[in-house]
Copies of this chain bind each other. A is one copy, B any other.
Amino acid sequence: MPKFKGRSIVSLKDMEKKEILHLMKKAGEIKSGKLKDVLKGKVIASLFFEPSTRTRLSFESAVLGQGGSVFGFADPGASSAKKGESLSDTIKNVMGYCDAIVMRHFIEGAARRAAEISTVPVVNGGDGANQHPTQTFLDLFTMFEKKGSLDGKVIGMMGDLKYGRTIHSLAMALTHFDVKLHFISPKQLSVPEHYIEYLKEKKIDFQESSVETCGKELDFLYCTRLQKERFFDPMEYEKVAGSYRIDKEALEYLKADTYIMHPLPRVDEITVEVDDDPRALYFEQAHNGVPTRAALLGLVTGRI
């Protein structure tokens, strides 16, 4: 059985396939109520050097709902960092009075650095544009929950595939499974070359597509936002944005059981009229952050 106790989770690369599957299983047991109080008596530090309400509330609810307690700060303005304390010193301090640290930081690599120093497990809640592993865990959990297995599944990834952190992490995680990927993006926002190389190396079947052409194949369509500021020419943005927006009309290109996912927050890349469609999975997906994060914290603190 995979060993999690005492481990920090900074990047997807920290976990092997069997470990990911174990986490999924435990998250499922928490969601169903079979596993309870997996953080009872545990005190978790929640250090958000960069504000992120959604991620923070999800982690905090995960802790509280499992009988744990949580303290920390929600934004850098309220932190000692402002007084010039180094990240290392903050971690060395806080690790002395909690059972695990959840942290989000604006600097890439900050979570890795914290994990190297800390004597208690550090869970990365996002470090700059780098890693956000618990987002990927909840994405995978949601996919497993809906389809039972990922092998043989076809997943479309749409929007900003160049800068989208969740896209990169998810794609790498999916290389553990026998999936086919469709990339749907404007040329200037396509998947970076080194990820392409990685996918080839892992013998993942992928291709560039459009919703119109691949929609009837997809088990999941994972959408992300096109950010206007990524385009040199605003006119260019206006021209292409419509092709990467899911509205009532776009739904018709999908199968009756193609689930639509999104890491949230969304702006207008999925219109609100889609929310009531049974294939709209993004809020349920967000809710899965709670059992997934609870399972991860339960595992690393040794209560599971």
| A203 contacts partner chain B, Cβ-Cβ < 8 Å | no
State in angstroms the CA–CA spacing of A283 and B90 once bound together.
10
| Known contacts A45-B57, A58-B97; A69/B80 CB under 8 A | no
B72 contacts A75, CB within 8 Å? Answer: no
| Most chain B CB atoms below 10 A, which of A60, A71, A283, A284 | A71
- Cross-chain pairs A/B with CB under 8 angstroms, 5 sampled: A51-B78, A84-B267, A85-B264, A93-B286, A97-B289
Residue of B nearest to A91 (CB): B283
Q: Which chain B residues border A61 with CB–CB below 8 Å?
A: 43, 45, 71, 97-98
Bin chain A's interface residue count.
35 or more
What's the least CB distance linking A85 to chain B, in Å? 4
Residues of B within 8 A of A97 (CB): 57-58, 61-62, 65, 287, 289-290
Given B77, B89, B266, which contacts A264 in the complex, CB threshold below 8 Å?
B89
CB under 8 Å from chain B, chain A span 71-96: 71-75, 77-80, 82-85, 88-89, 92-94, 96
Contact B287 A83 (CB under 8 A): no
Majority DSSP secondary structure for residues of A touching B: helix
CB-CB under 8 A from A72, the residues of chain B are 57
Given A43-B65, A61-B71, A64-B71, answer yes or no on A80-B96 (Cβ-Cβ < 8 Å): no
Chain B residue nearest in CB terms to A94: B57
Chain B residues, CB < 8 A from A58 = 97
A266 surroundings in chain B (CB, below 8 A): 89
Stoichiometry, as copies per complex, reads 3
Given A64-B69, A69-B64, CB of A283 within 8 Å of CB of B93: yes
- What is A's interface to B at a CB cutoff of 8 Å? 43, 45, 51, 53-54, 57-58, 60-62, 64-65, 69-75, 77-80, 82-85, 88-89, 92-94, 96-98, 264-267, 272, 275, 283-284, 286-287, 289-290
Contact of A54 among B62, B75, B80, B84 (CB under 8 A): B80
CB distance A53 to B80 under 8 Å? yes
Of B43, B79, B272, B275, which one neighbours A53 at CB under 8 angstroms? B79
CA distance A75 to B75 in the complex (A): 11
Q: Provide the bound-state CA to CA distance between A206 and B54, in Å.
A: 49
Judge whether B60 and A92 touch: CB under 8 Å: no
Partner of A80, one of B64, B85, B265, B289: B265
A71-B64, A75-B77 are known contacts. Are A93 and B43 too (CB-CB below 8 A)? Answer: no
* A254→B62 CA distance, assembly (Å): 48
Q: Point out the residues of chain B lying under 8 angstroms from A75, CB to CB.
A: 77-78
Closest 7 CB pairs of A and B: A96-B287, A85-B265, A64-B69, A60-B71, A61-B97, A53-B80, A97-B290
User: Given the complex, which residues of B lie within 8 Å of A85, measured CB to CB?
Assistant: 264-265
Contact present for A93 and B284 (CB under 8 Å): no
Contact between A96 and B64, CB atoms less than 8 A apart: no
A170 to B286, CA, bound (A): 40
